[in-house]
Structure formats: structure tokens, C-alpha cells
Structure 1
Amino acid sequence: MTATGAGGVRPLRDVSRLPKAHLHLHFTGSMRHATLLELAERDQVVLPDSLVEDWPPQLSAADEKGWFRFQRLYDVARSVLRTPEDVRRLVLEAAEDDVRDGGRWLEIQVDPSGYAARFGGITAFTDLVLDCVRDASERTGLAMAVVVAANRTRHPLDARTLARLAAQYAGRGVVGFGLSNDERRGSTADFEGAFRIARQAGLLLVPHGGELRGPDHVRQCLDSLGAHRLGHGVRSVEDPALLERIVAAGVALEVCPTSNVSLGVYSDLTSVPLPQLLAAGATVALGADDPLLFGSRLAGQYATMRAAHDLDDATLARLAEMSFEASRAPSDVVAAAKRDIAAWLD
């Protein structure tokens, strides 16, 4: 409850009605748990108990074995996507879920190479995803775009191939280029060539960094890849000089609280250093990362941070505004969202 003075109290504003941009959502990780179970049953895919009775799974990526378990669950979930209709359903349901949570803009992140073998190659799969995004946007009213992401556990030449693919679709539904998977694997500097291709195409550069590794890796993402936004980036708080640099450069941080706790980066939600980031002046966009594995969607990130840090509604509204400022959403979408954020706060 929020106090209104001596005369009484006013209920907390509903965070699901606060307009938001969602900038950190992985493709398979956006799947509804019920959809996973239904598709698995259809094709007799045997799921591990942690994706059935014990869902959401107990995860930790504090060591390489922990990340392997996390990645295995993700790969099992991806294996239930067998047909174009499955892909269309996933994208539509992700859009519906974001709209239910107050979403106005979604940048969904996908590595086409992870689906290429089953869907006719990376170009054919990208075409399919973009068609599904257009369809879901029309049906739900949610404005949407795609971030193509390379896998840092694969060869950097594969990343260049994906960067060229993303560049071909720049301005046609693809707005960014990322680098995902275990940031402790591979050499970030080796992916500079791929990011140079994406930069020349005018794409937003959004590598993962600063979650499983600390400030040293954030610097590499800035220096070698020229990151405009950081997937996570939360551990930049450990180095005040680095955080000052991030703030001065206007590099946004895609902070995913439930992911941070589920993967063992922080022991609990009260330890996620959102207040420190905000106090330093950082641009922060809250994201759900992989709701299928972490059990919490977009509005849940706002609700948990409100509860963990006793955030007032003005701070939540500012977080929502920053999510649009850090996005590639069209100006009309941003303007309408900011008007409605102000109305939410009134």
C-alpha cells in the first residue's frame, strides 16, 4: 500500500498497466510452460523433470557445469519447435504475454543458426520469424522487432555470417545484433569483425556482458564490440569508474533480476543492485530474459524490484520511460507510451 497522508492509503498502482518496452527476451525462452508441455506431448519428446513437475527449474550457473545444465534445458525446449505453426504460436503467445504485462514494444532476440537445420537454413528461418512477428503485431497491437544474436560458443566466422544476415534485414524488421550464451566462453575480441558489419548496417549493438563475468568483460564489450546496450551489464556496479563511463556514454543496461538470482549471480532479489545503478544515473531497462526457465515475465521484473527495494511509483515510471529511450521503437510508439506512463502516474 502507498500512503496518501493522514486520511488513509491508496492501493499500489498496477504494474501490469504501466507501459513498457521489453528489450531482453530470448526466443525459445519466451515460450509458455503450458505450450512446452503440449508440444512435447504431441511429438513424444521426453522432458526432464525440472521442466515438468519441478518447474521452474532450480538453476545456478556459478560454474561451467551449472551453465551446461541451463543450456541443456534450453536446447530441450527448443527441440519441441517442429513446424512453422509452432514458431508462429510461440511468437504470438510471447506478444500476448507482453501486452498483458503492459508491453508496447518488444525486441525479441533469436539466433537463427540454432533453428536452421529444421527450418531450411538461417535465411528461411529469419524470414519465418519476421513474418510471424508481423502477424503477431497485427493481431495484438504490440509493436515488435527482432535482434539477431550470435552464439559466442561457436566460431567467430559464424557470427560474421549472422551479422551479414542481420544487415540484409536492417530496416525490415531487424533492429539489432547481439552476442549471447555463456560469457565466460570464447574471446569477446574475436567477434569484433561481426560487430563491425552490424555497425556499418546501422544496427543496434547489444552483446551480453556483465552478468556471469564482471567489469573486465563489460570493458571488452565496450572497447572491442562498441556496445550501445549491454545484455545484463549489472555487474558494472562493481567498478565506479566503469559505471561512470557507461553513464557518460549513454550505454543502457538490460537488467534481468529474476535471471540474476536464478543463475546465482546474486543470492536474492534484494541483492540485485538496481538502486545503485539508478543512483549513478544509468539507463536501465528491466527484462525477463527467459521466462520459460526463470518463471517470471515482464511485469514480474517491475513487481519484484518494487518489493525488494521499496521503489516508489515515480521510480517505476522512470524505469518504464528508460526502456523506451533505450529501444529502437518508432517515435510515435515512444511518444504515446510516455504520455500513458505519465497518465499511469497521475
Structure 2
Amino acid sequence: MRDSPKVELHLHLEGAVPPSFVRGLARQKSIDISGIFDEGGNYRYRDFAEFLKVYEAATAPLTSPEDYHSLTRAVLAESAAHGVIYSETFLSPDFCGARDLGAWREYLHAIREAAEAAEAQDGIILRGIVTCIRHFGPDAAREVALCAAETAGDWVVGFGIAGDETAGKPRDFAWSFDMAREAGLRLTAHAGEWAGPQGIRDTLRDLRVERIGHGVRAIEDLALVDELAEAGIVLEVCPGSNVALGVYPGWRAHPIGQLYDRGVKVTVSTDDPPFFHTTMTHEYDRLSEAFDWDDGVFATLNRTAAEAAFCAPETRAQILKRLETA
């Protein structure tokens, strides 16, 4: 399934940084991040809390727009190699310029330049979703929302929230989401990964998003599952991430199959692929094995993802045409 065209909606740009890339950059800048790797050179963490710390440590060598230009090229080359034709990536001004609007514009310009070069070379289209970090708090989120609102347009197309789901309540971030909405950005939020179904309900009520990142623990409340299906809420599901972090013990135990069968609009993404030893090809192969899904199911998932993408209508039409042609 490596060459089949794919649409990915849930990818953290820094979370997709290859270990070799970040090690090389750290050596150039004399930054010691050796403690975040295991003996095989892969990212090392025991649980989700440590994963967040390792993730943030891995961003330490990324200190300039030029670094993000190189990172974007590396990430998109890997995605394109696994058939991804359209991707939406989470970008955080927390890591790109410390939430300073002028610095954020410089980082964004570098990322966009790299994305345009990748599109010309590999045919992969990238769009950005500006994302606040939940455990950094509501005040920081407001600054991120301002960065998002000031750069909203044809490339920055969405706003979201990631990080530790147990930090605060969705309503604490309502002001930031309201600002992003007023700027014309479309909205998504991480929920239902570590917190249960009530976290999804609170997020939908208080932040009024149209997509949920993960959302898999909705399966614990079948009434909520039916509500998601009826409302057409799209879930950005990352099965390999959930299995790697221990949310579920294995692929066959993952609820994506049940959610799909009950009519929920599910999509497939890699989240932070090198951290979880996955690719889009790996996700598809393992889902095919676990649920006996055929090409028709994956075609449905990709069409769902394309229709839920935050891009402009003409870009969506282009993506759908490529999927139909394939």
C-alpha cells in the first residue's frame, strides 16, 4: 500500500523530525540531547508524560527559520515516499519564535517556502494548522491564537490545541478558539485520547470544533458514538500512536474498526511517526491485517479525509481528482 495515494490530517511537524536529523542539528549547535535516545538511536520514553518531555527536548536544536525549512523538506519527502498527496500539519508558535508575531511570520515564511518546493518536486500539498499547547496554559494559548489570526489565509487554514489533555478544561481555551474562528480559521482539538468521553463532549460544546484529534475513547460511550456519527464530526485517528503509547494493547483491540462500522467519519494519520515507529504505509498495512480492510475501505477513509480537509475548495477538488484517478 506504499504507493496508494493518501490524505493525512493529523501530523505534528516537530513530532515528525527524524532522530538522525535532530541529532545532526544538535551536534552542529553543541546541544546535548543524548538523553532522549535509546541505544539504537531512537526516541526513548516510558509513558505519555515522558513522551511530552522528550518531544519538547527534541525541538531544542530547532532554533531558526532555516532549521524549520530543512525540517519541512525532510518531513514531506518522507510523507511523499509513502504516498501522501495532501497533509495538514500542526505548527506551534511556542516553538517557532516563542509566540512573537514577527518571529512567527519569519518561521512561517520558511516553512511555506519548503512546502512549495516539496509540492513542485514530489507533488505533496501541505497546509498548516496553528496549534496551542494545552499544558502551557490559556494565556499562552491567547498569544498563539493572535499569531494564528494574523496569518490566517490560503496556507494557514486551521487552529487547534494539543498537549496534555488533563491540563485544565476545554472552556479555559474558548477565548482563543473564538478569536481563531472570527479570523476564518477552521477548528480541531485533541480530545478523547487520554481523557474519556466527557472530554470529547466538553470539547465539542465549549470549543465548537468540527474535527477531533484522536477521539477514540468515544467508544466507551455508545450514545456519544452515535452523536458523532449523526453530527458528522470527523475523527483524526492515529492507531499506531495509540498502540505505541499504550492507550490500547494492540491493533486488533483498537476501536477504529468499531467506530467505522457505526458510521463515524474516521481518518488515519501518523501523529508523530518516528516516535511511534510508524509511517502511513505501516498504518494501512496493520489496519488491513487487523480488520481485513480492503482498498475500498481505504478509498472511503481518504475521501472522508479530503472532504474534511481545511484547504480551499479548489485544492480539495484537486486532491479528490487524484484520489479518483488512482
Distance (whole Å) between structure 1 residues aligned to residue 218 and residue 40 of structure 2: 33
Q: Does 1:208 align with 2:202?
A: no
* Structure 1 residue aligned with 2:3: 17
Match of 1:41 among 21, 27, 45: 27
What fraction of aligned residue pairs are identical, expressed as a percent?
Answer: 32
CA contact (8 A) 2:19 2:43 kept: no
SS of alignment partner, residue 44 of structure 1: coil
Deviations 1:97-145 (A, max 9, x none): 1211111111110111123249974343334333433343334321111
Q: Does 1:93 align with 2:74?
A: yes
Distance (whole Å) between structure 1 residues aligned to residue 23 and residue 147 of structure 2: 32
Match of 2:64 among 72, 80, 83: 83
Query: Which residue identity lines up with residue 249 of structure 2 in the other structure?
Result: S
- After the TM superposition, which of the residue ranges 78-87 and 112-121 deviates more from structure 2? 112-121
C-alpha displacement of 1:294: 1.0
Q: Does 1:73 align with 2:54?
A: yes
C-alpha displacement of 1:52: 4.7
Query: Which residue identity lines up with residue 4 of structure 2 in the other structure?
Result: L
C-alpha displacement of 1:333: 4.1
Query: Which residue identity lines up with residue 106 of structure 1 in the other structure?
Result: S
Structure 2's unaligned 5+ residue stretches are none
* Structure 1 residue aligned with 2:137: 155
Distance (whole Å) between structure 1 residues aligned to residue 322 and residue 117 of structure 2: 25
Deviations 1:127-169 (A, max 9, x none): 4333433343334321111100001112312212221221222
* Structure 2 residue aligned with 1:291: 273
CA contact (8 A) 1:285 1:326 kept: no
Distance (whole Å) between structure 2 residues aligned to residue 38 and residue 147 of structure 1: 27
RMSD: 2.1
* Structure 2 residue aligned with 1:267: 249
Query: Which residue identity lines up with residue 250 of structure 1 in the other structure?
Result: G
* Structure 2 residue aligned with 1:30: 16
Tell me which structure has the larger Cα radius of gyration. Answer: 1
Q: 1:240-319 to 2 correspondence within 5 Å?
A: 240-319=222-301
TM normalised by structure 1 equals: 0.87
Match of 1:164 among 146, 152, 160: 146
Q: 1:94-133 to 2 correspondence within 5 Å?
A: 94-117=75-98, 121-133=103-115
CA contact (8 A) 2:80 2:124 kept: yes
Distance (whole Å) between structure 2 residues aligned to residue 118 and residue 174 of structure 1: 16
Query: Which residue identity lines up with residue 68 of structure 1 in the other structure?
Result: A
Distance (whole Å) between structure 2 residues aligned to residue 220 and residue 134 of structure 1: 37
* Structure 1 residue aligned with 2:217: 235
Distance (whole Å) between structure 2 residues aligned to residue 291 and residue 211 of structure 1: 17
Change (3 A) 1:118 1:47: farther
TM normalised by structure 2 equals: 0.92
Query: Which residue identity lines up with residue 99 of structure 1 in the other structure?
Result: A
Structure 1's unaligned 5+ residue stretches are 1-14, 61-65
Distance (whole Å) between structure 1 residues aligned to residue 301 and residue 44 of structure 2: 28
Distance (whole Å) between structure 2 residues aligned to residue 130 and residue 280 of structure 1: 38
SS of alignment partner, residue 212 of structure 1: coil
Count of residues in Structure 1 that have an aligned counterpart in Structure 2: 325
Distance (whole Å) between structure 2 residues aligned to residue 152 and residue 222 of structure 1: 16
SS of alignment partner, residue 112 of structure 1: coil
* Structure 1 residue aligned with 2:206: 224
Query: Which residue identity lines up with residue 34 of structure 1 in the other structure?
Result: S
